[in-house]
């Protein structure tokens, strides 16, 4: 369970106050947490170790204000990423600071199913509009994933194997149906460092669609993934770093015909190739960085006897510079270029890449001021020049104040965002070329305090986001459209963490999110998480988590006989509660460890999405060997 906390506090699963820790997301450069006024949740390598056996989506879904729909279903279910009620197209995902997108995808977003958690070093989640630093798509938040880096040894390696069950509730079939294994090789030698990792995952056992009654058995749907990444760093001088990466992902997944509807033929397959180059140059008063990448994605979908082929290409180049004007003030200036194109072929329609493409060029500037008397100020602006949607200005104002003689910090934030429709929302059969761009405004107000010799940390925050021309999907016409008027989202988040002893940490968070119109679909109004971490001995550790997800409003379409005209229906999906546990033991210090995990221990039968299966009580064990 990950806590919601302000940036100066170690807001992670086992929370202890560490003011020397730094964050990256709100300035693109290392910044001490106590000098940041944004809500940044940092999930560290130690936190990920406590959640061994869980996916990236499940771990992120325990962060206050985040709901990732599909993470409770069978492994391989498509995912919906919501931050404070914002949908996929309003959430930007970065890997090592580089935006990751699928230009042919519905929301131009990254598929979290591609990434095994074993390759991740840490994750930062910054909530609120962040278009000033990160451009279109960062309206509700940014998820910044940092992959593991090279060891300081000349040669280091590790291998792991995880096996587990995949079963629904009230079905005591604990056969091994989930396999994940991988190896990594890394090291450093003089001016060169390297990291290479390979993962393979195979899962079956659960049907994607839920059977309408126990007498009808649906076929289990398979999911497989192969993921590899290679990173090479070269340091020719003390001031210059040259980093290269190449990444290959391939996933195959069966899927069904919809809610309560089995299909034993539908399947999808996708391949992704990503390459990138990131030089960094440090000088006396600053640092200059270029993050560049290119990706190619091919995807084929066999659905209802028809083959659909998609292909997309994206290019990103972001050059930015930090200049220290004084010890209290530094300036970040930069410019970002993005290009996206897609094509589609099927027996019924085709989209040529000469038609479905756009680009953006964005100059931006951010100033960060940190005073000695407690005032911190982050100001920024970006001028987005979109080849289809013209010029758009976004900005942010983010002051915070730490009282010198009180353990109290206050923050205020006002930020705007620009979200362009995706190529799919424009050019697909469900799209509309006349869609307007979405413009968002977010206001935040909060505080944090520490007590009992900094063992207890409490914070709370209220926010409101206004979406103009929000992009929705009409479930009757099956077309994307702009929601008339303002679409408002308001909410409250709070977190408390307490270091009960040196070996026991307690954490809890709660998020209230109230949404209007279509954005309320599948977003819980109330969500709470709690966790206890126990380091029983230097080698033995336990973790237990609790999650509550409230009722959710859901809309869906049916086509009743005899006319088969579309009818819009609504339903309230009932609340559910989950309890998970994890135990870890270090067999050989710094060499070999094992874990055992149990999810949904009470075997609760619940609904995450109407008509689709959810996992019941499941177990997983794993072994990790370092060499």
In a domain, 523, yes or no: yes
Residue pLDDT, tens place only, 225-268: 999 999 999 999 999 999 999 999 999 999 999 999 999 999 99
Contact 588, 610 (CB under 8 A): no
pLDDT of 467 = 93
How many residues make up the chain in this entry? Answer: 627
Please give the Cα distance from 45 to 543 (Å, whole number).
15
pLDDT of 19 = 43
In a domain, 405, yes or no: yes
Sole residue written with tokens 């509550």: 548
Please give the Cα distance from 368 to 332 (Å, whole number).
8
Please give the Cα distance from 36 to 130 (Å, whole number).
14
Distance of CA 118 to the CA centre of its chain: 15
pLDDT of 564 = 86
For 31, other C-beta atoms within 10 Å of its C-beta total 22
In a domain, 4, yes or no: no
Contact 516, 497 (CB under 8 A): no
Distance of CA 52 to the CA centre of its chain: 17
Please give the Cα distance from 99 to 167 (Å, whole number).
35
Q: Where are the beta strands (DSSP E) in 155-266?
A: 156-165, 176-189, 192-203, 223-234, 240-254
Query: Which residues have a Cβ under 8 Å from the Cβ of 484 and sit 6 or more positions away?
Result: none
Segments in the chain below pLDDT 50 = 1-19
CATH code of the domain containing 173: 2.40.170.20
Q: Where are the beta strands (DSSP E) in 304-407?
A: 306-326, 329-345, 350-351, 357-370, 375-386, 390-402
In a domain, 52, yes or no: yes
In a domain, 162, yes or no: yes
- As given in the structure block, the two tokens for residue 255 are 């899927």
Q: pTM for the full model?
A: 0.93
Please give the Cα distance from 226 to 133 (Å, whole number).
32
Contact 67, 523 (CB under 8 A): yes
pLDDT of 8 = 37
Q: What torsion, rounded to 10 degrees, do the Cα atoms 251, 252, 253, 257 define?
A: 120
- As given in the structure block, the two tokens for residue 47 are 């936190």
52 to each of 2, 443, 507, 621, how far by Cα in Å? 14, 36, 18, 9
Contact 615, 76 (CB under 8 A): no
CA angle 410, 413, 415 (to 5 degrees): 175
Residues forming a β-bridge with 225: 201, 251
Please give the Cα distance from 339 to 322 (Å, whole number).
25
In a domain, 501, yes or no: yes
Helix-then-strand count for the chain, H and E? 4, 36
In a domain, 225, yes or no: yes
pLDDT of 214 = 81
Please give the Cα distance from 100 to 112 (Å, whole number).
10
Sole residue written with tokens 């020397």: 20
399 to each of 116, 124, 334, how far by Cα in Å? 37, 21, 22
pLDDT of 31 = 81
Please give the Cα distance from 13 to 29 (Å, whole number).
24
For 292, other C-beta atoms within 10 Å of its C-beta total 16
Please give the Cα distance from 216 to 361 (Å, whole number).
54
Q: Which domain holds residue 566?
A: 29-626
Contact 599, 579 (CB under 8 A): no
Total of domains in the chain: 1
pLDDT of 16 = 37
pLDDT of 301 = 93
pLDDT of 519 = 67
In a domain, 574, yes or no: yes
Residues forming a β-bridge with 489: 465, 515
Distance of CA 346 to the CA centre of its chain: 31
Q: Where are the beta strands (DSSP E) in 420-559?
A: 438-451, 456-468, 471-474, 479-482, 486-499, 504-515, 526-535, 540-549, 552-558
Which of helix, strand or coil describes residue 118? helix
Please give the Cα distance from 361 to 600 (Å, whole number).
47
Please give the Cα distance from 377 to 398 (Å, whole number).
6
Contact 343, 371 (CB under 8 A): no
Question: Which H/E stretch holds residue 57?
Answer: helix 56-60
Query: Which residues have a Cβ under 8 Å from the Cβ of 471 and sit 6 or more positions away?
Result: 89, 419, 421, 425, 435, 438, 480, 481, 482, 483
CA angle 57, 63, 66 (to 5 degrees): 70
Residue pLDDT, tens place only, 80-130: 899 998 989 999 999 999 999 999 999 888 889 889 999 999 999 999 888
């Amino acid at each position: 369970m990950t806590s919601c906390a302000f940036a100066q506090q170690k807001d992670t699963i086992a929370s202890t106050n560490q003011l020397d820790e730094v964050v990256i997301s709100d300035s693109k450069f290392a910044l001490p947490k106590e000098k940041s006024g944004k809500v940044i949740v940092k999930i560290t390598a130690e936190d990920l170790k406590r959640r061994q056996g869980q996916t990236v989506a499940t771990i992120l879904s325990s962060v206050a204000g985040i709901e990732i729909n599909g993470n409770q279903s069978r492994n391989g279910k498509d995912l919906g990423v919501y931050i404070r009620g914002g949908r996929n197209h309003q959430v930007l995902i970065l890997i090592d600071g580089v935006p990751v997108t699928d230009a042919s995808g519905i929301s131009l977003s990254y598929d979290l199913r591609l990434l095994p958690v074993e390759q991740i070093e840490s994750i930062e989640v910054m909530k609120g509009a962040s278009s000033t630093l990160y451009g279109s798509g960062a309206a509700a938040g940014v998820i910044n994933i940092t992959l593991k880096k090279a060891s300081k040894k000349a040669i280091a390696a590790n291998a792991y194997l995880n096996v587990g069950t995949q079963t629904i509730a009230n079905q005591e079939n604990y056969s091994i149906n989930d396999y994940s294994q991988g190896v990594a090789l890394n090291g450093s030698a003089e001016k060169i460092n390297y990291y290479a990792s390979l993962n393979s995952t195979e899962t079956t056992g659960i049907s994607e669609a839920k059977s309408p009654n126990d007498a009808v058995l649906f076929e289990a749907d398979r999911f497989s993934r192969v993921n590899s990444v290679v990173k090479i760093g070269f340091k020719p001088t003390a001031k210059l770093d040259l980093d290269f990466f190449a990444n290959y992902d391939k996933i195959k997944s069966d899927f069904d015909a919809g809610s309560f509807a089995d299909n034993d033929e539908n399947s999808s397959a996708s391949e992704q190739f990503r390459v990138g180059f990131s030089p960094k140059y440090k000088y006396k008063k600053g640092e200059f960085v270029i993050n560049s990448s290119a990706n190619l994605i091919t995807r084929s979908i066999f659905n209802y006897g028809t083959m659909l082929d998609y292909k997309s290409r994206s290019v990103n180049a972001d050059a930015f510079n930090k200049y220290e004007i004084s010890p209290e003030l530094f300036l970040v200036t930069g410019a970002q270029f993005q290009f996206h194109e897609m094509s589609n072929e099927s027996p019924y329609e085709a989209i040529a890449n000469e038609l479905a493409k756009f680009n953006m060029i964005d100059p931006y500037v951010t100033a960060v001021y940190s005073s000695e008397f407690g005032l911190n100020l982050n100001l920024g602006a970006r001028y987005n020049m979109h080849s289809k949607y013209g010029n758009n200005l976004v900005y942010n104002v983010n002051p915070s104040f730490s009282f010198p003689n009180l353990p109290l910090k206050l923050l205020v934030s006002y930020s705007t965002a620009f979200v362009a429709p995706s190529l799919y929302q424009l050019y697909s059969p469900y799209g509309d070329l006349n869609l307007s761009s979405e413009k968002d405004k977010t206001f935040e107000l909060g505080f944090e305090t520490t007590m009992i010799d900094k063992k207890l940390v409490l914070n709370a925050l209220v926010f409101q986001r206004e979406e103009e021309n929000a992009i929705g999907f009409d479930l009757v016409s099956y077309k994307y459209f702009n929601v008339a008027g303002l679409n408002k989202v308001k909410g409250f988040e709070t977190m408390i963490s307490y270091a009960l002893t040196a070996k026991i940490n307690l954490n809890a968070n709660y998020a209230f999110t109230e949404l209007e119109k279509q954005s309320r679909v599948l977003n819980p109004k109330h969500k709470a998480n709690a966790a206890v971490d126990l380091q029983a001995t230097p080698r033995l550790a336990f973790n237990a988590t609790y999650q509550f997800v409230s009722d959710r409003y859901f809309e869906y379409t049916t086509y009743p006989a005899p006319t088969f005209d579309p009818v819009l229906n609504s339903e309230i999906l009932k609340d559910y509660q989950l309890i998970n546990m994890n135990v870890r033991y270090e067999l050989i210090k710094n060499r070999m460890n094992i874990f055992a995990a149990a999810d949904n221990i009470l075997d609760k039968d619940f609904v995450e999405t109407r008509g689709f299966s959810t996992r019941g009580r499941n177990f997983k064990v794993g072994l990790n060997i370092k060499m």
